Amino acid sequence: MSLSPVQPAEPWRQRLIRTLLYGKNVDRHVKARARVGFAILAFVSVYAVIAGKLVLFGITSESNEASRRAAQDATATARPDILDRNGTILATDVKASSLFGEPRRLVDRDEAVELLTGALPDLDAAEVRQRLGTRKGFVWLKREITSAQERQIHRLGIPGIGFLRENKRVYPSGPVVSHLIGHVNIDNQGIAGIEKWLDSNGLADLHMAGFANDRQQEPVELAVDLRVEHALRDELLKAKEKYKAKAAAGLVSNVQTGEIVAMVSVPDYDPNNPREANDPTRINRLTTGVFEMGSTFKSLTLAMALDSGKATINTLYDARGPLRYGRFNIRDTHPMGRAITLAEVFTYSSNIGAARIALSQGVEAHKAFLKKLGQLDRLRTELPESAQPIVPKRWGELNTVTISFGHGLSVAPLQAVMGINALVNGGYLIPPTFLKRSKAEAMKLATQVVKPETSQKMRYLMRLNAEIGTAKKAEVPGYYIGGKTGTSEKVVNGRYMRKQVLNSFTAILPSDNPKYQLLIMLDEPQPLKETFGFITSGWNTVPTGGKVIARIAPLLGIEPRFDLPPSDRLILAATR
């Protein structure tokens, strides 16, 4: 018996191919069926690969689209129009294109960077290359490009580069209302002024809920009058230049409603270019800054005495010589060398007289009165930017002496305006607002802080000051204004500087029935030949105030009146 050699087993792959091609024998029909089966298998495999690629591509495209949508949701935050009290648009949204890239769809990153930086020279090539070098589905390349730039890039036809339409905030009046209205960031979110207030009062929540679109938001009406704002700003810019001041500021307030009808602080900035707001010289001096308001504060001191019933406008105070207090001598700019009445303390702006009046009331009464008029606490309005007053930690008699004539207590100027409003509007402390408000709405918020007869006497004193006192240069025929001046030496390195002053002038119009208060401030005005070298308020802020009143009174609907009697017969007679 012979043994034949064992044949090695055929590998399964060869056996499969041989079976598909030839079957188990060489029969022609079987062989044909085998070849058809192999072809079918090959085609199925190819189509399976193609289908897989299509599915993958679909998933990727959806992801990119989702990324675009997410980015759009994050940026295209529609905002309501902001209007002035007459319906003029102060802020609105317009549509603008932004440039984005989809790195996963790029064919040639270097070519894309080269073409894009050629079309937009301000693009940083290294930064664009870095952004396009990621594996992200979506990256911003440049926000808010012009239509011409969009067309230029579109013609380049770069795969993976596209555009999104976004909301862009624009401010048609430029810097005129900048400190009041604020501005937004690149994502159209409010970061200052009324714009920020809108976000913190429901707009941001609407965005989160997806309800804040262009059609669902009602315009926001402010109290500001753009015509008055423009006139005030124009005169302040002229005054700043004429008197070579570091800064100027002004404010018009409705004394009966607390509405802020105009507010200007220059240097200001253009909210269309919000980077300018980072310049520290452009701060809003009316709400963000705090200052010693100088002699305008004497109005509060005298009102305190009149309201207490312990003094009248004819009460005498000793002003024969300087008031010695501790190591300090309190002097007057215009020393009278005699006893003077309370009314003369006001019209001659006597520091000695104001100090004696405050001392006659006592420290605690003084503090309580100023707190009642909102001068010791931080003022809250719609504007998020507000400063805390600087109040003495230990308040003794010397503090009362200096604060009586406007030194030693620093407040935001808007805060001082609120207090003066209360002194002349019948005695009601009304929180200021930048939104439109009726008198009835204001009275629901009002607190009676001085008696009506005290308010009447303060109107008389302010008018008297325009007739014979330091506010004479603000007189505008027909408008019966009243006012109080303030010249406050600035504190530098802990010392009062005689040549560096902050001047202020607060005016009311008309004095017999005040509707509005105007505040004018100049920071470090310089002496001129026509001011005879003086830098006190009466030589610069007062005439500036007169020019402002001449322009804004007709805009505010105040009709001129002529042949009016002196204040003692028109105003004071009503209190007797």
pLDDT for 494 equals: 79
CA distances from 477 to 228, 467, 560, 561 (A): 19, 12, 8, 8
279 exposed, middle or buried (CB, 10 Å; 0-12, 13-18, 19+)?
A: exposed
In terms of Cα–Cα distance, which of 207, 200, 211, 162 is closest to 64?
162
Tell me which residue has tokens 């920020």: 196
Looking up tokens 């941001």 gives 204
Q: What pLDDT was estimated at residue 106?
A: 84
pLDDT of residue 62: 45
CA proximity to 292, closest of 502, 500, 485, 470: 502
- DSSP one-letter code for 276: G
pLDDT score for 260: 98
pLDDT, position 1: 44
Torsion of CA 234, 235, 236, 238, to 10 degrees: 90
pLDDT in tens, the chain (576 residues): 444 555 566 777 777 766 666 655 556 666 677 677 767 777 777 777 777 665 554 444 444 555 555 444 445 578 999 999 999 999 999 888 888 999 888 888 888 888 888 888 888 888 888 888 888 888 888 888 888 888 888 888 888 889 888 888 999 999 999 999 999 998 888 999 999 999 998 776 666 666 556 555 789 999 999 999 999 999 999 999 999 999 999 999 999 999 999 999 999 999 999 889 889 899 999 999 999 999 999 999 999 999 999 999 999 999 999 998 877 888 888 888 899 999 999 999 999 999 999 999 999 999 999 999 999 999 999 999 889 999 999 999 999 999 999 999 999 999 999 999 999 999 999 999 999 999 999 999 999 999 999 999 999 999 999 999 999 999 999 999 999 999 988 888 878 888 899 999 999 999 999 999 999 999 999 999 999 999 999 999 999 999 999 999 999 999 999 988 899 888 888 776
What's the pLDDT at 60? 47
Whole-number pLDDT of residue 26: 58
Nearest alpha-carbon partner for 286 in 501, 491, 521: 521
pLDDT of residue 133: 87
Report yes or no: 258 and 431 within 8 Å, Cβ to Cβ.
yes
Q: Residue 217: what are its φ and ψ, rounded to 5°? A: -105, 125
Catalytic-role residue among 295, 299, 504, 567 = 295
Question: Is 295 tagged catalytic?
Answer: yes
DSSP-based three-state secondary structure for 492: strand
